[in-house]
């Protein structure tokens, strides 16, 4: 009797002990618990502080088991560069069996694995976004046009206060919509409302504990839990825009991204195994909208939170803007070269905003090494960008908002190597150019016209962001005054 009970228990124990050991020369980490791995070492709501605690305990490259799945967390500039730049192709994959893959049909570019489809789609977007091919209007005109709508909104609140969350969200969404679909949407438009609502819902799910449990514990995937929502209604919306484009387009005269893609499909139609398709396009457009909306709007929200609560820095920017734009009716992106202080402030905002704190997860494409550790093919890699943007030794003030981080002794703008809010290497953000143009033109145009004040009755500002795939400042209000034009 004792033997029949003890023997299976012993076998079970030995089996789990074996399963719960890290492979030879794998990065170290906390003890692995059977089935759960290390998920008990992480706060499912906000793991950033846990990641920092574990970095202090195990070094810049350590591992965690999310259920049965090993993940390597990469911290600090040196390790990050080795992984994402020096050994770029070894680390350029994306994990393929996560909650987010299942909700996006494995199409699009953000989550596509390292391979021909990702490469061709990435190259296509970079070329198309580079101001060619998107019709007659330049990217600057699109951004400045949308900024007019922001200014119209702000003008209605002169002398009173406004909550800017929705305004910046809608503006960022509209800029991408103009690039993708050639038109902006009224803030109450049904199409945009459905997209925004669906993304908010899906982002909440992807950020939340259910997605982490789904990824960590494969056995619960078939249960009717809250993660089974998909992009169905967004796809329906998108198909109507695509149908309208197909009806009204003139081949060879693209008005926007969709037309460019349809032209490219025509060009490739004779190719064997053509990688471009309407299904790809629909997920691709949603990818770009998703990647370009929350990121930009959360960075703008952080910018105005810090500008309001640091009035000396806001005034310094305004002086520089007034001088450089004297006699001009609007700013252009090239003006940044004459505005070192504004440039420093915007970069410092991006550093502090830490908008995509854990980047997008990567995956190794072959057996490789990092900082002397062996990492097998297919291992999930979490690039902890937070650890680089706040790394001691890389910044004059790593933990404090201070534009001096980007200025040398002569007051010139300098960009330290550790500035990587867009990540680095071949998977680096492909919207960087567009995002930087948006941040510069919107911030400069608004600061030129308005003064932003922290309302007297708003209490002490709370700078702690809300955790998610993107970090978001806590909701706040701003008081608006008109400036005298200089």
In the annotated binding site, the residues are 429
Residues of each annotated binding site for heme: 429
User: Cα separation of 96 and 44, whole Å?
Assistant: 21
**Which residue, 300 or 331, has its beta carbon nearer to ligand HEM?**
300
Q: State the DSSP H helix or E strand holding residue 219, giving kind and residue range, or none if neither.
A: none
423 scored as a contact of ligand HEM (CB under 6 A): yes
369 strand-pairing partners:
374
DSSP type of residue 62: E
The single residue among 375, 429, 471, 480 that binds ligand HEM, judged by CB under 6 A, is 429
**Which residue, 44 or 360, has its beta carbon nearer to ligand HEM?**
360
- Residue whose C-alpha is closest to residue 286's, from 333, 230, 327: 230
User: Cα separation of 8 and 336, whole Å?
Assistant: 70
Task: Kindly indicate which of the ranges 69-77, 130-138, 193-201, 427-435 contains the residues binding ligand HEM, using the contact rule CB under 6 A.
Answer: 427-435
The residue count of the chain comes to 486
Tokens of 310: 């640091």
287 scored as a contact of ligand HEM (CB under 6 A): yes
**Interface with ligand HEM in residues 350-369 (CB under 6 A):** 355-356, 359-360
- Residue whose C-alpha is closest to residue 478's, from 314, 309, 313: 309
Q: State the DSSP H helix or E strand holding residue 3, giving kind and residue range, or none if neither.
A: helix 2-19
The single residue among 95, 421, 465, 473 that binds ligand HEM, judged by CB under 6 A, is 421
Considering the complex, what minimum distance in angstroms separates the CB of residue 174 from ligand HEM?
A: 12
Task: Kindly indicate which of the ranges 35-43, 286-294, 370-378, 444-452 contains the residues binding ligand HEM, using the contact rule CB under 6 A.
Answer: 286-294
- The answer to whether 71 and 63 are in contact (CB under 8 A) is yes
Site string for ligand HEM, 96-135 (x = CB under 6 A): -------------xx-----------x-------------
Is residue 355 classed as helix, strand or coil in its secondary structure? Answer: coil
Cβ neighbours of 35 (radius 10 Å): 15
> Which residue's C-beta sits nearest to ligand HEM?
431
User: Cα separation of 260 and 125, whole Å?
Assistant: 10
Looking only at the bridges linking them, the beta strands covering 161-162 and 478-482 are antiparallel
299 scored as a contact of ligand HEM (CB under 6 A): yes
292 scored as a contact of ligand HEM (CB under 6 A): yes
The single residue among 88, 275, 428, 453 that binds ligand HEM, judged by CB under 6 A, is 428
Total residues binding ligand HEM (CB under 6 A): 24
**Which residue, 213 or 281, has its beta carbon nearer to ligand HEM?**
281
Interacting residues toward ligand HEM by CB under 6 A: 109-110, 122, 287-288, 291-292, 295-296, 299, 355-356, 359-360, 421-423, 427-431, 434-435
């Amino acid at each position: 009797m004792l033997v029949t009970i003890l023997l299976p228990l012993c076998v079970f124990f030995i089996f789990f002990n074996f399963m719960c050991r890290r492979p030879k020369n794998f990065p170290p980490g906390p003890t692995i618990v059977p089935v759960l791995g290390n998920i008990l070492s992480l706060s499912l709501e906000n793991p950033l502080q846990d990641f920092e605690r574990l970095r202090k305990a195990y070094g810049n490259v350590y591992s965690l088991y999310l259920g049965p799945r090993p993940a390597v967390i990469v911290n600090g500039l040196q390790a990050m560069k080795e992984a994402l730049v020096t050994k770029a192709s070894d680390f350029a994959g994306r994990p393929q069996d996560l909650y987010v893959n299942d909700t996006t049909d494995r199409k699009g570019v953000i989550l596509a694995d390292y391979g021909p489809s990702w490469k061709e789609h990435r190259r296509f977007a970079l070329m198309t976004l580079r101001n060619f091919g998107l019709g007659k209007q330049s990217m600057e005109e699109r951004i400045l046009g949308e900024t007019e709508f922001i200014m119209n909104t702000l003008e209605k609140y002169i002398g009173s206060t406004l909550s800017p969350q929705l305004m910046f969200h809608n503006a960022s969404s509209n800029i991408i919509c103009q690039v993708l679909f050639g038109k902006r949407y009224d803030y109450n438009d049904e199409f945009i409302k459905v997209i925004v609502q669906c993304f908010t819902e899906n982002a909440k799910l992807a950020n939340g504990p259910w997605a982490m449990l789904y990824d960590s514990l494969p056995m619960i995937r078939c249960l009717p839990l809250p993660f089974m929502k998909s992009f169905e209604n967004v796809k329906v919306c998108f198909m109507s825009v695509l149908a309208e484009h197909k009806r009204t387009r003139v081949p060879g005269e693209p008005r926007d991204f969709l037309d460019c893609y349809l032209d490219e499909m025509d060009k490739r139609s004779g190719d064997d195994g053509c990688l471009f398709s309407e299904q790809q396009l629909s997920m691709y457009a949603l990818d770009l909208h998703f990647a370009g909306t929350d990121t930009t709007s959360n960075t703008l929200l952080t910018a105005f939170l810090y500008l309001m609560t640091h009035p000396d820095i806001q005034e310094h920017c305004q002086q520089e803007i007034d001088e450089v734009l004297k006699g001009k009716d609007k700013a252009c992106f090239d003006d940044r070269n004459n505005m070192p202080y504004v440039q420093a402030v915007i970069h410092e905002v991006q550093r502090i905003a830490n908008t995509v704190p854990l980047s997008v997860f990567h995956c190794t494409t072959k057996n490789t090494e990092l900082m002397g550790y062996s990492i097998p093919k297919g291992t999930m890699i979490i690039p902890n960008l937070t650890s680089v943007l706040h790394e001691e030794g890389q910044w004059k003030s790593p933990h404090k908002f201070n534009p001096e981080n980007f200025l040398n002794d002569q007051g010139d703008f300098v960009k330290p190597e550790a500035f990587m809010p867009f990540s680095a290497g071949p998977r680096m953000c492909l919207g960087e150019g567009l995002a930087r143009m948006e941040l510069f033109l919107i911030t400069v145009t608004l600061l030129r016209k308005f003064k932003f004040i922290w309302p007297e009755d708003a209490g002490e500002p709370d700078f702690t962001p809300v955790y998610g795939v993107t970090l978001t400042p806590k909701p706040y209000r701003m008081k608006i005054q008109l400036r005298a034009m200089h």
